[in-house]
Amino acid sequence: MKTKKRAPSRHAFRLLLSLGMIFVPASTWPCRAQETRTDEIERQRDEKAAHAQYDQPRKLEKDLFYIEDNHILERLTASYHGLNLRFGGLVQGSGFALGPEYNLRTPALLGSNLQVGAQFSTKLYQKYYVGWMAPKLLHDHFSFDFNGVHRNYSQIDYFGPGPRSLKSNRTDYRLEDTAVDAALGVKPVKHLQLGGSAGYLAVNVGPGQSNSYPSTDLVFAPSITPGIDHQTNFLRYGPYAQIDYLDNPAGPASGGLYTFEYTWYRDQKLNQSDFQRMDAEIQQYFGFFNKTRVIALRAKTTLTDANSGQTIPFYMQPILGGSDDLRGFLPFRFYDNNSLLLNAEYRWHVASVLDMALFADGGKVFPRRGELNFSHLQGDGGIGFRFNIKGTQFLRLDIAGSHEGFQFWFKFNDIFVRHPVGTASAQPIF
Amino acid sequence: MNNNLLKLALLLAVSIPVVAAEKFYADDPLQNEPRPRNAATVKPRKLNDYYDLLENSFKKRGERNTAKKTIRARDVNTLGEPMDGAWYTHRHYWNPMSDEQLQLGAGGKNPPSEAGPWTVVSAKLEGISPGFVMKDSKGDRYYVKFDPMSNPEMATGAEMIVARFLYALGYHVPDYYLIHFKADKLALGTDVKFRDSNGRERPMVQPDLDKLLTKIPQTADGGYRAIVSIQIEGKPVGPFKYFGTRGDDPNDVVPHEHRRELRALGVFAAWLDHNDSRSINTLDTLVQEGDVAYVRHHLMDFGSTLGSATVEAKTARFGGEYYLDFKSAPKQMVTLGLAVPYWAHARYPDYPAVGGFESATFRPDRWIPDYPNPSFVNRLPDDEFWAAKQVVAFTNDQIRAIVKVAQFSDPNAERYIADTLIARRDKIGRVYLTKVLPLDRFAVANGELVFHDLAKEYASEEKGPLHVTWSSFDNKTSQKAPIAAAQDFHIPGDDPGTSYLAAEIWRGDNKAKMITVYLRQTGAGTEVVGVDRAW
């Protein structure tokens, strides 16, 4: 107990002595007199050395290393060699979709990619596909694609035929098809691609699975909606041409993309639906203020011509409405034998990762090709938010309004989505 | 008793005036950092690129200067100069380099040997910037990088030029060379593995090397142009950060955001449009000198400088806006883009070798890198002056001499880049030489305090004559006693009791931008020992 009482006194004395040393003029300190700048720096180093420790990365950095080292982002967003998880890629209205995809790329395939995958959505849409893509054969002068796909979409909307169909007549049907197509392209000069493709398509249509709307076959008779009762198989083939001088295909701000396709469809089963389909699309971009502002324009038409005594089934008719064309309307809002679509966007830079857009859409479907003009267009307008990384858009939020109400679109594609050319995409839903 | 002693101690603490350390020590001003401690235990570390982006964009790392609290550079000597050592070496401004020395840069004497093949020993063939590592017949390893197809000579030219400037400005940088070769000069080494575009690691085969060459612009003679850097001396231990210190390096005692040469790098980066001036483009190496190993800090990878964004030409955004910058977003949203940012008005020449580089819209004080750099953000007017005085010291001819190292095949491209650097240099001078009183190179000659007035030499702003007052200066108390009779730059006569003098200098009636120059008088003579700048 006694020592405990004395100890504080000694400590207090030491404290007094220390304070005295500190506040007594420095010149009277024998050791301070010899202080140099070098000593001062050495003292700092002494202190640092006494507490030196390796800088451990923070948890977030460790997680990012894990993602990077295991190429997780690439496996989610790109077609990486091996097993990947693919998001989206199904038709609009399918709900959230994802599925496994296996990519095989070996030197033995000469730079081509063999792809096998399956996707499923929250609305139970299904898609199974296999592809062999060789986009740059013989020094990038030739390309070859082979695609096989089976789709089973349980509730595609249908509102009746023609431009005057009513929103209140909403129905849905199941679209099930299987297609095999091959395309061969040649690039004779820079910016130009010519090619031809051929394929086989088998279609089946069934009752829609929506609980909210009646099935199409219960509302529309085969006389109004040809093909609702019987579906057929097609042999299809045709040429295509494309001129592409976009400055940046992933986020164009200047240049143009012009595509022309002509496809013959030959009914292989019912001999009722032989027809021809012509697709033409012009995209043009005008950038100014160092491409921080862009006017983007698109004009697109699909014209069909059924052979004498033949009809075009409704499931092969051009369709308008939805996130990629008439954005102020419901998906698949208008069906008919022909279509015309016009889009205009003014896009401007807001931040490095965000562009905005004011847009206007106009379009119509029409039964006869002679009605290809600018009268009686359905119109809408809106505003968009485009999120991008290093000039490549990865997310689009568009809000559009029309006389039928407002639509909100949350999409992972460009509005002027660049479809592959060839028969594989020369159909309304693919 | 205990309580009484404590009370006495507290009484002493409040009643005796605090005595600060001497302002100047006997060895001030230090020109070199003291000999480093042995840092052999420093371990390599990695830095995640995305983490660095997020951390610097959304967190204010390091100790920041604010309106209420400013912390001046801490790694400087009493003259305000960083010391020669692991971070920095005084070069061109202090000891003017010849044109040949400026062109040689960090080494200039160890290019790849032309004898024998160059053997590819590892490669990165995909990604935004393909390249490989090769060994020459001497066995030296070189990192090889190329130009993008769209802009021949651009990235390699920019890297050659900027490496020379940054070396002349005092930084440790790699030793870069331009090489020209034909495809048959390359030989594929044995057991070379790489990760292909599909993410698969596999042995590299000749077609892979051939494929790489198809992505590189060919020269008129059917060959290829590349930039190579010889492996930096020492064992790589990872990048340095622009804030804090390296925890396991005993010599790294000044937080990086308070290092003058790192703060000033923001001005140099603006001049050279070095938007990619971030941690991932730095490298610490453990260098052995005698029995001591210490960490030396390097800047590297200058492919995204001048008009080059490495894989393409720079767009106008570079230097004008951070990647994740939403400050101007509300204005852009509300005005529907009608409020065009100043940087979007830039006009670039049609020289593929130049890319996006210009001077008309360049604003030195508004230029920013790709994302916030704590050292750049922390810079103060005296840091900016320190940088600007070095920038303006490059003459037109010296700039043209350095630009020549890029070996542009188009003389118009060479001329344009040199002209643009000259114009940007002048803008830097006009902006930063006016923020403080731009007097420098203080010395004593013939009994007078002499100096260079950079306002007269470079800047246009020069209002009124210079005034000076002298004081004797007490080094222990930092008290000044005016010497009334002394009002010009003649050093007041010897006062037996005075060992330090302070000269306060200002221009016209602007005492806010005052410089105080401290002189030490000893038996050996009078020397300038300290410089303090106010603004």
CA separation, residue A200 to residues A149, A182, A429 (Å): 11, 10, 15
Own/partner long-range contacts of B397-404 (Cβ < 8 Å, ≥24 apart): B397/B99, B398/B99, B398/B102, B399/B425, B401/B99, B401/B102, B401/B103, B402/B102, B402/B103, B402/B161, B402/B164, B402/B165, B402/B168, B403/B161, B404/B103
B276, B305 contact by CB (below 8 A): yes
Q: How far apart are CA B422 and CA B391, in angstroms?
A: 10
Instruction: Give the chain A residue whose CA is nearest to the CA of B45.
Output: A55
**What does the pLDDT look like over A110-128, one tens digit per residue?**
678 899 999 999 999 999 9
pLDDT for A412: 84
Cβ-defined contact of B50 to A353 (cutoff 8 Å):
no
Q: Give Dmax over CA atoms of chain A in angstroms.
A: 121
Which of B407, B432, B457 delimits the end of a domain? B432
Q: How far apart are CA B122 and CA B142, in angstroms?
A: 11
Residues on chain B touching A386 (C-beta within 8 angstroms): none
Looking at the fold, whether B449 and B501 belong to one and the same domain comes out as yes
| Residue in this structure with the two tokens 């005296």, named with its chain if needed | B382
Residues on chain A touching B315 (C-beta within 8 angstroms): 290-291, 391
Q: How far apart are CA A203 and CA A187, in angstroms?
A: 33
Closest CA to B37 of A244, A144, A50, A75: A50
Min Cα separation A297/chain B (Å): 18
Amino acid making up residue B53: L
In a domain, B54, yes or no: yes
Handedness of CA B323, B325, B330, B332 (dihedral sign): negative
Q: Higher model confidence: residue A310 or residue B497?
A: A310
In a domain, B10, yes or no: no
Residues on chain B touching A391 (C-beta within 8 angstroms): 315
Min Cα separation A60/chain B (Å): 7
If you compute the radius of gyration of chain B from its CA atoms, what whole number of angstroms results? 26
Looking at the fold, whether B321 and B265 belong to one and the same domain comes out as yes
Highest mean pLDDT among A17-26, A133-142, B178-187, B496-505: B178-187
Closest CA to A227 of A276, A175, A280, A186: A175
Q: Which of B332, B499, B520 to mutate to test the interface with A (most CBs of A within 10 A)?
A: B332
Here the tokens at position B113 are 């040997």
Which of B5, B316, B317 shows the shortest C-beta gap to A12?
B5
Looking at the fold, whether B128 and B70 belong to one and the same domain comes out as no
CA separation, residue A224 to residues A266, A335, A427, B76, B196 (Å): 22, 12, 20, 87, 55
Closest CA to A297 of A250, A349, A343, A242: A343
Min Cα separation A401/chain B (Å): 18
Amino acid making up residue A242: Q
pLDDT for A424: 86
Closest CA to B439 of B497, B386, B399, B481: B386
Which of A64, A71, A353 shows the shortest C-beta gap to B48?
A64
Which of B383, B414, B432 delimits the end of a domain? B432
Looking at the fold, whether B406 and B494 belong to one and the same domain comes out as no
Which domain does B528 fall in, by range? 439-533
Which of A35, A37, A45 shows the shortest C-beta gap to B251?
A45
Cβ-defined contact of A45 to B253 (cutoff 8 Å):
yes
- Which stretches within B16-65 are classed as H helix? 49-58
Which of B12, B249, B332 shows the shortest C-beta gap to A23?
B12
pLDDT for A250: 84
Cβ-defined contact of A9 to B1 (cutoff 8 Å):
yes
Q: How far apart are CA A324 and CA A343, in angstroms?
A: 10
CA separation, residue B394 to residues A232, B172, B316, B418, B432 (Å): 79, 19, 26, 11, 15
Q: Looking at the domain A138-425, which fold is it? A: Porin (2.40.160)
Q: Give the relative orientation of helices B396-403 and B154-168 as an angle to the nearest 10 degrees.
A: 130
Cβ-defined contact of A60 to B54 (cutoff 8 Å):
yes
A176, A151 contact by CB (below 8 A): yes
Min Cα separation A27/chain B (Å): 8
Q: Which of B1, B5, B83 to mutate to test the interface with A (most CBs of A within 10 A)?
A: B5
Beta strands in A268-391 (DSSP E): 275-288, 293-306, 319-320, 334-335, 338-351, 354-366, 378-389
Q: Taking 70 as the threshold, does the pLDDT of residue A2 lie above it?
A: no
Cross-strand partners of B419: none
Min Cα separation B305/chain A (Å): 17
Here the tokens at position B287 are 């260098």
Looking at the fold, whether B275 and B394 belong to one and the same domain comes out as yes
pLDDT for B46: 93
CA angle B527, B529, B534 (to 5 degrees): 130
Cβ-defined contact of B337 to A356 (cutoff 8 Å):
yes
Looking at the fold, whether B408 and B529 belong to one and the same domain comes out as no
Q: How far apart are CA A157 and CA A334, in angstroms?
A: 10
Residues on chain B touching A74 (C-beta within 8 angstroms): 199
- Which stretches within A112-161 are classed as H helix? none
Q: Taking 90 as the threshold, does the pLDDT of residue A105 lie above it?
A: no
| Residue in this structure with the two tokens 């802009």, named with its chain if needed | B151
pLDDT for B522: 86
Residues on chain A touching B62 (C-beta within 8 angstroms): none
Residues on chain B touching A16 (C-beta within 8 angstroms): 5, 8-9, 12
In a domain, B38, yes or no: no
Q: Cβ atoms within 10 A of the Cβ of B324, count?
A: 17
Closest CA to A218 of A158, A154, A273, A177: A158
Closest CA to B381 of B278, B277, B266, B478: B266
Q: Which helix (H) or strand (E) holds B119?
A: strand B118-124
Closest CA to B272 of B197, B412, B408, B171: B171
Min Cα separation B368/chain A (Å): 13
In this prediction, what percent of chain A has a pLDDT beyond 70? 90
A331, A95 contact by CB (below 8 A): no
Instruction: Name the DSSP letter for residue A424.
Output: G
Cβ-defined contact of A68 to B50 (cutoff 8 Å):
yes
Cβ-defined contact of A60 to B51 (cutoff 8 Å):
yes
b vs e for B54-88, b when ≥16 Cβ sit within 10 Å of the residue's Cβ?
A: bbbeeeebbeebeeeeeeebebbbbbbbbbebbbb
Q: Taking 70 as the threshold, does the pLDDT of residue A403 lie above it?
A: yes
Question: Coil, helix or strand for A218?
Answer: helix
Residues on chain B touching A105 (C-beta within 8 angstroms): 196-198, 200
Min Cα separation B127/chain A (Å): 12
pLDDT for A316: 97
Q: Which residues contact A271 (CB under 8 A, 6 or more apart)?
A: none
In a domain, B12, yes or no: no
Q: Taking 70 as the threshold, does the pLDDT of residue A347 lie above it?
A: yes
| Residue in this structure with the two tokens 């404290």, named with its chain if needed | A15
Residues on chain A touching B479 (C-beta within 8 angstroms): none
Looking at the fold, whether B218 and B246 belong to one and the same domain comes out as no
Q: How far apart are CA B322 and CA A351, in angstroms?
A: 8
Q: Taking 80 as the threshold, does the pLDDT of residue A24 lie above it?
A: no
A334, A163 contact by CB (below 8 A): yes
Looking at the fold, whether B159 and B295 belong to one and the same domain comes out as no
B246, B258 contact by CB (below 8 A): no
Q: Which helix (H) or strand (E) holds B384?
A: helix B381-392
Min Cα separation B89/chain A (Å): 18
B94, B42 contact by CB (below 8 A): no
Min Cα separation B333/chain A (Å): 6
Which of B27, B78, B328 shows the shortest C-beta gap to A36?
B27
Looking at the fold, whether B335 and B242 belong to one and the same domain comes out as yes
Which of B217, B235, B253 delimits the end of a domain? B235
Cβ-defined contact of A105 to B30 (cutoff 8 Å):
no
pTM for the complete prediction? 0.88
Instruction: Give the chain A residue whose CA is nearest to the CA of B318.
Output: A352
Looking at the fold, whether B203 and B274 belong to one and the same domain comes out as no
Residues on chain B touching A81 (C-beta within 8 angstroms): 196, 198-200
Which of B13, B50, B247 shows the shortest C-beta gap to A53?
B247
Total number of domains in chain B: 3
In a domain, B165, yes or no: yes
Residues on chain B touching A293 (C-beta within 8 angstroms): 337, 340
Here the tokens at position B94 are 């202090």
Cβ-defined contact of B248 to A53 (cutoff 8 Å):
yes
Q: Where does residue A140 fall: left (phi above 0), alpha (psi -120 to 50 degrees), or beta otherwise?
A: left
Looking at the fold, whether B381 and B270 belong to one and the same domain comes out as yes
B267, B388 contact by CB (below 8 A): yes
Looking at the fold, whether B445 and B423 belong to one and the same domain comes out as no
Burial of B381 (0-12, 13-18, 19+ CB in 10 A): middle
Cβ-defined contact of B30 to A348 (cutoff 8 Å):
no
Question: Given the DSSP bridges, would you call strands B186-188 and B118-124 parallel, antiparallel or unpaired?
Answer: parallel
Cβ-defined contact of B315 to A290 (cutoff 8 Å):
yes
Once rounded to an integer, what is the mean pLDDT over residues A72-97?
A: 83
For the ranges A95-104, A283-292, A375-384, B15-24, which has the lowest average pLDDT? B15-24
Cβ-defined contact of A61 to B245 (cutoff 8 Å):
no
Q: Which residues contact B187 (CB under 8 A, 6 or more apart)?
A: B117, B118, B119, B120
In a domain, B37, yes or no: no
Once rounded to an integer, what is the mean pLDDT over residues A231-235?
A: 96
pLDDT for B130: 78
Q: From the first residue on, what is the mean pLDDT of each consecutive set of 10 residues in chain B (535 residues)? A: 49 44 91 96 94 94 92 97 97 97 92 95 73 93 95 98 98 97 94 79 88 90 96 95 97 98 98 96 96 97 96 94 88 94 96 98 97 97 98 98 98 98 97 95 95 86 86 93 88 73 94 96 90 97
Cβ-defined contact of A349 to B344 (cutoff 8 Å):
yes
Which of A19, A49, A68 shows the shortest C-beta gap to B13?
A19
Residues on chain A touching B48 (C-beta within 8 angstroms): 57, 61, 64-65, 68
Q: How far apart are CA B143 and CA B150, in angstroms?
A: 22
Instruction: Give the chain B residue whose CA is nearest to the CA of A290.
Output: B344
Question: Given the DSSP bridges, would you call strands A97-104 and A113-121 parallel, antiparallel or unpaired?
Answer: antiparallel
Once rounded to an integer, what is the mean pLDDT over residues A398-406?
A: 97
